[in-house]
Structures are given as structure tokens and as C-alpha cells.
Chains A and B, each alone.
Chain A
């Protein structure tokens, strides 16, 4: 989860998010160098005593400042497009989960084998146990097996919502009447937090998403337990 006053991304918990982090570092370094160059040119222009009122054109510098930005854009666009298509790949998922947005909670359905479904409400601040995170904890987590490709189908029952988990690099709109699909693999076990990312009413800020990645045997025992309780 995010720590207080964090500016950067959270640590990646999926291969796609790792790629996004690497691309961000790449683009940020280019942006940093361009900004430094612009700052240097500004200082040089302001501090020079040289003035020339008679230059009308200069082919060399025109070529440089046309070709160089094009090259820089290509250097940014190629990795960006690669990741864009990588994010659309869905390779033989082991499990399909439906996430439905409601005002103001999420519900999850695991219907591959048995009919397992449950709602996930935010734990109110006054009911938090010591060590739990304010506005992020939910009473029922979406549990998934670690290192397994998971397909998630996202929709909504009433208004627009958005299912987002930054550590997994996922954000997908939940649109009523539409089924959006995305997939992810969790690289490591853990608990990953997210929040609804589309304004949906008074309690938009109070419908968090909690994904818990566990080893397969723990997932099996969790799902058996949930089916018994249902």
C-alpha cells in the first residue's frame, strides 16, 4: 500500500506493473534531461552579452531541433506501445472472477466451479483493529492464488465505478451494462489495496478494493470455507 507522503509508484506485484515501472523510469530520465537542457539554455540566453539582429535562418539548427524531438518521441513511443499490447494479452487464465461495483461496495463472484459470491464493504474507522489501515480495509478480501493468471470481469450494477489496484497495475472502469475484461498475475503473495477510481456518489472514497494473493492450497481452503459459510 502507499505510505504517507509517497510520491512514486507502489512496489510492483505483477509483471505488467514491473514493466510499467521500468517504462516510467525510462520516460522520466528523458524528461529530466530535456528539462535540464531547457534550463541551461534559459540561463545561457539570459546571461549572454551577444546579440545578433541579422540572422534570418539557419538550416543546421532547424534540422537538429526537428530531427532530435522526433527521435526522442520514437524512443518513448516504442516501449510504450510494447507495454500497451502486453497489457492486452490474456494467456489461458486459471480462474475467472467477476467484480461488480455497487453504491458503495464491491461484490466478487467466483463461478468457475461452484457458486461463490460475497460482498466487500469497507471496515468503518471505528471498527478497525490495531494495525489495520484507515479507509483501505474491507471485511471480505478478494483472495486469489499467487502466480496464477487470473481473468477479472468488471461491471457495475448502478453507476460508473472503477476497479483499481495500483500495485498490480490495474485500473478498469466498471460500467453498468458492460463487461470489461482484464487479467493479471501476482508475482508474490501479499495484500494489495486499491480504491474506487470513478466518482460514484457520496461514499465514492469509502469502497476500497483488497486483493489477497495466497498459495494455491490456502486459496482452496479459503474457498471451501467461504462455500460452507454461504
Chain B
């Protein structure tokens, strides 16, 4: 399901090994954040300890953790939005289907759930009476 505003993101994938177009949602951001996390963590470790190999190891660990974290954060947010979108769509569909009936979610007048016609208080009084 394509979410609002996602059509531009679907074009923004990245190329892996020069041939594979990866257009999975959140993948590009996760890998970029991971790369940033790797550089930052490796650099900080090197600047504090001056150990090159260990800094590479720390940088790689930073890459793994940052990629995973960014991926999970983005995916759970996206899943939450998808659920909200589905709920909104169902609500809109119900509104269109039941508009003007007693089941219209927009009316505030209490009604019998089994009644499909308009509630008794709305436009049902005799026009002849004062």
C-alpha cells in the first residue's frame, strides 16, 4: 500500500553492487544512518584510544546497531501510519455508506441502533403544527 507522500520516496532507492535497485521503504535511510553511526563511533573511539583496528571494530558495531535501530524505528512508525490509514479509510467508507441514516457516525443525536431512518427529532414534526 502506497502511503501519502511515499510516491517520491519509492523512487529514492539505492543501488547495491551497481546492479541491484533496492527500493524497500526505510532501507536507504537505515543504511545511511548506519554509515553515519559507523563513522561517528569509529572516529570517537580512535580519537580517544588511538587504536586503529579496535576503532574499526567499534565502528562496525556502531554500523550494525545504528542500522538496526533506524530500521526498526522507521518500520514501526510506518506500520503505525498504515494502520491509521486503514482505520481512516474504513471510517470514510462507513460515512459514505451510512450518511443520513441512523448509523451515520457524524450525527450526534442518539438513536436506536436498528433504525435506519432519520432520528425522530429531526425534520419529522408535522409542518401544519405551530
A12-B1, A29-B30, A187-B1 as given contacts; A36 in contact with B64, CB under 8 Å: yes
B15 adjacent to chain A (CB < 8 Å): no
A7-B20, A33-B67, A36-B64 as given contacts; A26 in contact with B1, CB under 8 Å: no
- The answer to whether A26 and B64 have CB atoms under 8 Å apart is no
B57 adjacent to chain A (CB < 8 Å): yes
A7-B20, A44-B57 as given contacts; A25 in contact with B25, CB under 8 Å: yes
- Chain A residue contacts of B64, Cβ below 8 A: 33, 36-37
**A14 CA to B20 CA, complexed, in Å:** 26
Taken residue by residue from 14 to 41, chain B's Cβ proximity to chain A (1 for < 8 Å, 0 otherwise) reads as 0000001001111100100000000000
Question: Residue B24 contacts which of A18, A28, A48 (CB distance < 8 angstroms)?
Answer: A28
Cβ < 8 Å to B, chain A residues 1-59: 7-8, 12, 18, 22, 25-26, 28-29, 33, 36-37, 40, 44, 48
Give the dominant DSSP class at A's interface: helix
Interface residues of B (CB under 8 A from A): 1, 20, 23-27, 30, 53, 56-57, 60, 63-64, 67-68, 71, 75, 79
6 CB contacts below 8 A, A to B, read A25-B25, A26-B75, A29-B27, A37-B60, A44-B56, A44-B57
Interface residues of A (CB under 8 A from B): 7-8, 12, 18, 22, 25-26, 28-29, 33, 36-37, 40, 44, 48, 187
Rank and list the top 8 A-B pairs by shortest CB-CB distance, nearest first.
Answer: A25-B24, A40-B60, A29-B71, A18-B1, A33-B64, A33-B67, A33-B68, A37-B64
